[in-house]
Amino acid sequence: MKIFDGIKKDKEMPGDIPAKKGMIGYILERYSVTIFTALLAVCFLFAGMTRFISRKTEHVYVVLLNNSKWYYQEVDSDVFDTFLKENGVDMTDIILHVNDELFMGYHNRTDQDDSVRQTVTSLFFLNKVDVFLADEEHYGLFAKDGAFQNLSEVLEPEILNRFELYYVDENPVGVVLPFGRVHMAGYYDDDVVAGIAVNSLNDAYAEIILRSLLDD
């Protein structure tokens, strides 16, 4: 019997309600278990909603400048998501953004190059870059402006010594990737330099991605 149906029925039989208890007392006595269960359900619902609202979604950004997508029909953008999952990262509250739509240095379009450079600079300024990949020439455009972290403070010397590095003021701020999964995913054919943005808000995830790129 639903509680409100029961109350309606009780109202039709006023003689059954003890005078001293009154309606409220009678309801509390007769429907105490139902009321308690309902209140408990409300508490659980409120707690669940509070937890959901308080959960913080993290955004991780990978920017692939001058990748091969413009002439390949298909690329595997899930490769970076896979890197994180393989290293035990719970992706429930993480949104991974892969920006593979930026190209410079093609068809002698100076106006387009300037526009793309401004766009990339804005992404760095707005903390929308965690991991950055590009050909060496265009990687250097942003590296000389201090856009990348010193990788000697991120990776162990024994790892850095295995690879060709990109230096600015004697600091390794990029690493030339060997042929690996980012190439097999269709993104690059030739050498590509990778690094971590100096103002990355997700250093831990960026480091996981970079290490995964080097482990290929």
Which tens digits make up the pLDDT trace of 39-96?
555 544 554 444 433 346 899 999 999 998 877 668 888 999 999 999 999 999 999 9
pLDDT band at 10 (very low <50, low <70, confident <90, very high): very low
Q: Is 93 exposed, middle or buried (CB count within 10 Å of its CB: 0-12, 13-18, 19+)?
A: exposed
Query: Order of strands across the sheet with 171-176?
Result: 94-99, 58-64, 131-134, 193-196, 171-176, 165-168
- Give me the helices (H) in 87-133, please: 110-125
Measured between alpha carbons, how far is 131 from 144 in angstroms, rounded to an integer? 17
Q: Which residues contact 179 (CB under 8 A, 6 or more apart)?
A: 216
Domains, the chain, ranges and CATH? 3-54 (no CATH), 58-215 (3.40.190.10)
Q: What's the predicted TM-score (pTM) here?
A: 0.74
pLDDT 10s digits, 150-182:
999 999 999 999 999 999 999 999 999 989 999
Burial annotation 10-47 (CB, 10 A radius, 16+ → b, else e) = beeeeeebeeeeeeeebbeebbeeeeeeeeeeeeeeee
